[in-house]
């Protein structure tokens, strides 16, 4: 080996050594990773993500992947000529749409992610909330206030659900077998109907039931930003509530924060909102002191 390569080798060795205490922190701990957004559509980012998940599993972490797929569902609906309607920023899921949602989420996307992990040497298994009665959902009930009349009305989003119960039996068995569960956010209702569940909400329910050490929400933004659009590296639950109340946190970040608060109240030690487009964002967050997003704790 030439002398020119030695410094680079030494730097790599130091990086590995610095990761040791973080590896010990997460050894045999459950980490739930919600994977979605535009990072799913980028092949290089997908391969980085799969490498991260496989490396975590090899060094003793118990990763559980929950994925979304909104853009892919939209493209399939367009291809089939099925028009989507949105209310309150959420897709109305009628009987025809829920069939496509299940096909895309529990079929194509789920198996694609399983394939990416397998290609990196991991042993993954694709499941959805229906399998083994893992997640039981209830029809989502939401109200919106009309800005002109100030009157509240209830939204009927069709077959859109919220997690109601999580049975961890299947997940415990899969983790004992040293497999990596990849979960699609489709669940069965107590009424026997299939429900489309928001992936963040689904991941929060899984993390809470599994008493996860960490829940990572991979998004398209660096994390929670202040009013000057600067990243806030760490927040408590109480600070999160204040940021929502004073209007710092708005739009689609509000339900993400609410999912974080719910997961922490269910026993998750910490939740991180981070940018999934950053190469190896998962490893940066879990195995270095730098972090890669906003950490929310009790």
Domains and CATH numbers, the chain: 27-82+99-133+178-186+196-297 (3.40.1160.10)
Least reliable range by pLDDT among 13-22, 222-231, 258-267, 283-292? 13-22
How many distinct helices (H) and strands (E) make up the chain?
A: 10, 16
Residue 190: which of 141, 142, 143, 130 has the closest Cα? 130
pLDDT of residue 199: 94
Q: Which tops the pLDDT comparison, 37 or 62?
A: 62
Checking if the pLDDT of 106 tops 90, the result is: yes
- 47 three-class SS: helix
CB atoms within 10 A of CB 2: 5
pLDDT of residue 290: 73
pLDDT tens by residue, 132-183: 999 999 998 877 666 677 777 777 888 999 999 999 999 999 999 999 999 9
pLDDT of residue 289: 81
Average pLDDT, integer, range 183-207: 95
Checking if the pLDDT of 271 tops 80, the result is: yes
Q: Which tops the pLDDT comparison, 205 or 10?
A: 205
Report the distance separating Cα 34 and Cα 37, nearest Å: 10
Average pLDDT, integer, range 269-296: 89
Report the distance separating Cα 265 and Cα 224, nearest Å: 19
CB atoms within 10 A of CB 59: 16
Provide the pLDDT confidence category of residue 1 given band limits of 50, 70 and 90.
very low
Checking if the pLDDT of 104 tops 60, the result is: yes
Checking if the pLDDT of 4 tops 70, the result is: no
- Which backbone phi and psi does 94 adopt, to 5 degrees? -85, -175
**What percent of the chain stands above pLDDT 90?**
64
Provide the pLDDT confidence category of residue 5 given band limits of 50, 70 and 90.
low
**Cross-strand partners of 197:** 161
Q: Which tops the pLDDT comparison, 279 or 53?
A: 53
pLDDT of residue 51: 95
Are 130 and 187 in contact by the 8 Å Cβ rule? The answer is: yes
Report the distance separating Cα 51 and Cα 55, nearest Å: 6
């Amino acid at each position: 080996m030439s002398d020119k390569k030695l410094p680079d080798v030494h730097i790599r060795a130091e990086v590995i050594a610095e990761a040791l205490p973080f590896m010990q922190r997460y050894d045999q701990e459950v980490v739930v990773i919600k994977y979605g957004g535009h990072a799913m559509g980028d092949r290089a980012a997908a391969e980085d993500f799969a490498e991260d998940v496989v490396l975590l599993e090899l060094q003793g972490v118990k990763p559980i992947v929950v994925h979304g797929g909104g853009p892919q569902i939209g493209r399939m609906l367009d291809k089939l000529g099925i028009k989507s309607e949105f209310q309150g920023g959420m897709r109305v899921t009628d009987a025809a749409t829920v069939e496509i949602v299940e096909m895309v989420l529990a079929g194509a996307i789920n198996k694609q992610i399983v394939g990416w992990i397998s290609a990196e040497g991991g042993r993954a298994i694709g499941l959805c909330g229906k399998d083994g009665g893992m997640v039981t959902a209830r029809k989502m009930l939401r109200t919106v206030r009309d800005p002109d009349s100030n009157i509240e009305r209830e939204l009927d989003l069709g077959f859109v659900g919220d997690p109601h119960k999580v049975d961890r039996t299947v997940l415990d068995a899969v983790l004992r077998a040293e497999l990596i569960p990849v979960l699609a956010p489709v669940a069965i209702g107590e009424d026997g109907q299939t429900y489309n569940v928001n992936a963040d909400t689904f991941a929060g329910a899984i993390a809470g039931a599994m008493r996860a050490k960490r829940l990572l929400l991979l998004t398209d933004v660096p994390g929670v930003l202040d009013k000057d659009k600067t990243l806030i590296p760490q927040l408590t639950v109480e600070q999160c509530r204040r940021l929502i109340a004073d209007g710092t946190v708005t739009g689609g970040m509000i339900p993400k924060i609410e999912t974080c608060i719910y997961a922490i109240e269910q026993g998750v030690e910490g939740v991180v909102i981070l940018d999934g487009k950053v190469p190896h964002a998962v490893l940066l967050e879990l195995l270095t002191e730098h972090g890669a997003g906003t950490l929310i704790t009790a």
